[in-house]
């Protein structure tokens, strides 16, 4: 059993841990260290955080944030390069460009007849 704070304890369950690369581990550390729950260490808050359960979360470090990591590999990298070119033409950073493309897609989809 490991103690969190003064009164909360939990068992070490292997499936509760995830393997992270160095950069993701640093991002997680920074998020946790800057989280409003850092001093309180309320395990129930942590259980709903992206860094605890990225497949099912309601916040990142208590902030209303959603995250999506995308990777292009092999032949897909040509699509990535095209995306970057289009973002540059639109004078947008790639993440904002992708969000705008998705917004347009969802707006168009919502206006289609059922």
Mark whether 61 and 81 lie in a shared domain.
Answer: no
Q: Are residues 4 and 45 in the same domain?
A: yes
The CA distance from 114 to 112, in Å, is 6
In a shared domain, residues 16 and 64: yes
**How many whole angstroms separate alpha carbon 54 and alpha carbon 76?**
24
Tokens standing for residue 39: 């001093």
Nearest C-alpha neighbor of 49 from the set 40, 106, 6, 81: 40
Domain count, the chain: 2
Q: Which of 27, 59, 65 is nearest to 46 (CA)?
A: 59
The reply to whether 58 and 2 lie within a common domain is yes
Q: Are residues 34 and 4 in the same domain?
A: yes
pLDDT in tens, 2-53: 445 555 556 677 777 788 899 999 999 999 999 999 999 999 999 999 999 9
Residues 51 and 83 in one domain: no
**Full domain range(s) for residue 83:** 74-111
* Residue of 79 and 113 predicted with greater confidence: 79
């Amino acid at each position: 059993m490991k103690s969190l704070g003064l009164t909360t304890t939990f068992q070490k369950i292997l499936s509760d841990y995830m393997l992270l690369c160095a950069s993701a581990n640093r991002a997680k550390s920074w998020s946790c260290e800057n989280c409003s729950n850092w001093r309180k260490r309320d395990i129930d808050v942590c259980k709903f955080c992206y860094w605890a359960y990225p497949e099912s979360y309601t916040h990142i470090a208590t902030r209303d944030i959603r995250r999506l990591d995308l990777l292009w590999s092999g032949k897909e990298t040509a699509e990535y390069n095209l995306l970057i070119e289009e973002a540059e033409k639109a004078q947008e950073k790639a993440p904002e460009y992708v969000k705008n493309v998705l917004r347009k897609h969802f707006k168009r989809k919502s206006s289609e007849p059922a």
